[in-house]
Amino acid sequence: MSEKYEVGSVVKGKVTGIQSYGAFVALDDSTQGLVHISEITHGFVKDINEHLKVGDEVNVKVLSIDENAGKIGLSIRATEEAPERPQVQKKAPKKRQATVKSSTVAESTEGFNTLKDKLQEWIDQSQREDLIKK
């Protein structure tokens, strides 16, 4: 098997079968390999049948050869030039205007008091005789 084909070589083959996970491609009368679904074309492939059909002649690149298992991994995508991606311009993040509440902390009698405000009140309470536990 490795005498005829080398990893990295590009050869012509014929699609002999299609499964949900990939397409089988005959390289010659006695050698067949698999093009995994991710190696069909650039981009996402939902259905292989939209890209290939049995009998199609395709150029494939040999990705891997497993002598022990008798498997050859092929790629159609590696023989094609990648489509140019449109440049995405990054937008500057929008700045948010801070919201200002109409009442300030000093004016508000509700909510939490600061420790500074409460400290004097606690000191006064600690000195009152009627609040001291005996």
pLDDT digits (tens, 9 = 90+) for 35-74: 999 999 888 889 999 999 999 999 999 999 988 888 899 9
Sign of CA pseudo-dihedral 9, 14, 16, 19 = positive
User: Is the pLDDT assigned to residue 126 strictly greater than 60?
Assistant: yes
User: Is the pLDDT assigned to residue 78 strictly greater than 80?
Assistant: yes
| Residue 119 pLDDT class (50, 70, 90 cuts) | confident
Q: Which CATH superfamily is domain 10-79 in?
A: Nucleic acid-binding proteins (2.40.50.140)
Domain parsing of the chain, residue ranges: 10-79
Q: Which residues 6+ apart lie within 8 Å of 37 measured at CB?
A: 20, 21, 22, 45, 48
pLDDT of the residue at 18? 93
Q: Quick check: 20 and 34 in contact, CB under 8 A?
A: no
* DSSP per-residue letters across 40-60: SSSS--S-GGGT--TT-EEEE
User: Is the pLDDT assigned to residue 109 strictly greater than 60?
Assistant: no
Phi, psi of 115 (to 5 degrees): -60, -35
pLDDT of the residue at 102? 59
**What's the whole-model pTM score?**
0.59
Burial 71-96 (b: 16+ CB within 10 A, else e): ebbbbbbbeeeeeeeeeeeeeeeeee
Q: Which of the pair, 84 or 61, is modelled with greater confidence? A: 61
| Burial of 106: CB neighbours in 10 Å, binned 0-12, 13-18, 19+ | exposed
Q: In the chain, which ranges are continuous DSSP H helix?
A: 115-127
